[in-house]
Structure 1
Amino acid sequence: MDKKKFIDSINNKLKLIRIENNYSQEKMSEIVGISKKTLIEIEKGRSSLTWAGAVCIATLFEHSEIIQMTFGGDVNEVIKTVAFTHYEPSLPKTLGGKVWWRQFREFNGYKIQQNILSHHYRILDEEDRKICSSFELDEIELRFKEITNN
């Protein structure tokens, strides 16, 4: 996924997110900081959000079922993975991939998992703490080899 695909995903779901939250077009445009006319144009597919606008909506509505089903869990992780070339968060322990993840590889307790919706990869340590994430499998496999000495 790149910035354009992320923006397109938000553009395509914007109306559903608005309806899910029971907002009028006027209220939604006020929340997001765009004109009602621009919102209508985006909802009709005639205009597009910017990267900042898409990030704003994804962040403001991160707990939306629509956002969750589009990006597979933590949308902020997806945003950071798209925005930064080498994103290595120091996040708390995860659930180990019980919901949005499929096991890709495991060695000595370390795991490579792929998100079933956004398709980005991550490496978890023995305690299910996230070490890094990326959309590039080659990058993840290289990091995995460094970590596991395999």
Structure 2
Amino acid sequence: MNREGLINSVWDKFKLVRVELGFTQEEMAEKLGISKKTLVQIEKHRVSPGWTTTVAFCTLFRRSEVLQNAFGGDPLEILEVITNPILLKPKETTLGGKVWWVDILSKENYRIQQNVISQHYRILDKMNRRWLSTFDLDYAKAILMQLASNNNH
């Protein structure tokens, strides 16, 4: 997935999230920092939300069940995969992948999981802390080997 793919995935969710959270169009537009007219155009699929609005939407409403179900978890993880370079340090502690995740490969105290909805991969340690998120399985395998090797020293 890239920026355009994320925008398109989120585009259909604007009205659903607004209704889920009980916001009027005015309230939702205010929270997103856009005009009501622009929100109406987005909801009617006449105007794309654009990257900045998509990032704001995913950030502000990341706990929405609609967004969580659309991405198989936190939409900010998808944003991170798309926008940030990989830093090899533990990030947040996860629930270990009990709902939307399938284990792909394990080595030492680390494992690669794949999200069944978004199809991206992540590496977790034995304490379920996320170390990496990526759409590239070969890259995830290389990092898994590096982490496991570092763990043995």
TM-score (norm 2): 0.89
Match of 1:61 in 2: 61
2:121 corresponds to which residue? 121
- Give structure 1 stretches of 5+ with no counterpart: none
Map 1:72-91; keep pairs closer than 5 Å.
72-88=72-88, 90-91=90-91
Contact 2:94 2:130 in 1 (8 A): yes
| Shift in alpha-carbon separation, 1:90–1:107, aligned structure 2, 3 A | closer
Give the aligned residue type for 1:96.
G
1:59–1:29 Cα change, 3 Å:
same
Q: What is the SS of the residue equivalent to 1:143?
A: helix
* Shift in CA distance, 30/134, structure 1 to aligned 2, threshold 3 Å: same
What is the deviation of 1:126? 2.3
For 1:99-118, list aligned pairs within 5 A.
99-118=99-118
CA RMSD of aligned residues (A): 1.6
**Deviation for aligned residue 1:28:** 1.2
Q: Aligned equivalents of 1:16 and 1:42: distance in 2?
A: 12
Q: Which residue in the other structure is 2:33 paired with?
A: 33
Q: Quick one: distance in 2 between partners of 1:107 and 1:90?
A: 16
Which residue type is aligned with residue 62 of structure 1?
R
Q: Is the 2:107–2:144 contact (alpha carbons within 8 Å) kept by the matching residues of 1? A: no
CA distance 1:15–1:105, shift in 2 (3 Å): same
Q: Find the counterpart in structure 2 of residue 143 from structure 1.
A: 143
In 2 relative to 1, CA 98–70 (structure 1 residues): closer, same or farther, beyond 3 Å?
A: same
**Alignment: residue pair count:** 149
Identity %: 42
Classify the secondary structure of the residue corresponding to 1:80.
helix
Residue in 2 aligned with 1:3? 3
Displacement after TM superposition at 1:88 (Å): 4.2
Contact map agreement 1:112 1:124 (CA 8 A) in 2: yes
Give the Cα separation in 1 of the matches to 2:136 and 2:30.
37
How far 1:93 sits from its partner (Å)?
2.9
TM-score by length of 1: 0.90
CA distance in 2, matches of 1:116, 1:58: 19
